[in-house]
A and B are shown apart, each in its own frame.
Chain A
Amino acid sequence: MTTRHSQFLRQSVAGLIIVLASGCSHWIELSDQATPLSPSQTTISSNLRVPLLLETIHITQNGAPVAIPPALERQVLGALESTRLFSQYFQSGYEQPASHEPRVTVRLTMNTHIDPHPGETAWSGFVIGASMFLLSPVIWFDYDYGTEMVLEAERWDGQTKQYTASSSGSAHYYLFGASPHVIEELKGQVTDTCLTSLLDQLVRDAPLYLADSSPPSETTIHTVSVGARRSGTDVHPVSTSPPASSQ
Chain B
Amino acid sequence: MAVLATSVHAADPVPEITIGTQEVGLSAGYLLPERLTKHHVTKQQGPAFMPSWMITLTDPIGDSWYRGQVSIGAEVVYIQFQEPVLTHGVGFNPKIKYTFVADNRIRPYVEFAGGPFWTDLGNKIPEESSELNFILTAGVGISFFVTSQASINVGYRFQHFSNAGTSYPNYGINSSLPFGGFSYFF
Interface residues of chain A, those whose CB is within 8 Å of chain B, are: 70, 73-74, 77-78, 81, 88-91, 93-95, 114, 116, 118, 121-122, 124-126, 128-130, 132-133, 141, 143, 175-176, 178-183, 243, 247
Contacts and interface: CB of A to CB of B under 8 A. Distances in A.
Q: Give the residue among B2, B61, B94, B96 with the most A Cβ atoms within 10 A.
A: B2
Nearest to B95: A129
A201 to B, nearest CB: 21
Interface residues of B, number: 28
Contacts of A73: 7
Interface stretch (B17-25, B81-89, B144-152, B172-180): B17-25
A95 B3 contact: yes
A179 B21 CA distance: 7
Contacts of A181: 20
A133 B94 contact: yes
B53 to A, nearest CB: 11
Given A77-B4, A90-B3, A70 B9 contact: yes
A179 B73 CA distance: 15
B10 to A, nearest CB: 12
Contacts of A176: 55
Contacts of B18: 180, 183
Given A129-B72, A129-B95, A94 B55 contact: no
Interface string B1-14: 11111110100000
A116 B59 contact: yes
A94 B58 CA distance: 37
A25 to B, nearest CB: 13
B20 A116 contact: no
A126 B96 contact: yes
Nearest to B62: A118
A180 B20 contact: yes
Q: Give the residue among A70, A93, A125, A182 with the most B Cβ atoms within 10 A.
A: A125
A178 B96 contact: no
A243 B1 contact: yes
Given A125-B57, A126-B96, A132-B94, A118 B1 contact: no
20 contacts: A73-B7, A77-B4, A81-B2, A81-B4, A90-B3, A95-B3, A116-B19, A118-B58, A121-B70, A122-B57, A125-B71, A125-B96, A129-B72, A129-B96, A132-B94, A132-B115, A178-B56, A179-B20, A180-B19, A180-B20
A247 B2 CA distance: 10
A173 to B, nearest CB: 8
A95 B3 CA distance: 8
Nearest to A84: B2
Given A118-B61, A180-B18, A182-B20, A74 B6 contact: yes
Interface in B10-48: 18-21
Q: Give 10 closest A-B pairs by Cβ, nearest first.
A: A94-B5, A129-B94, A179-B20, A178-B20, A125-B72, A122-B70, A118-B61, A89-B2, A118-B58, A180-B18
Contacts of B92: 132
A90 B5 CA distance: 7
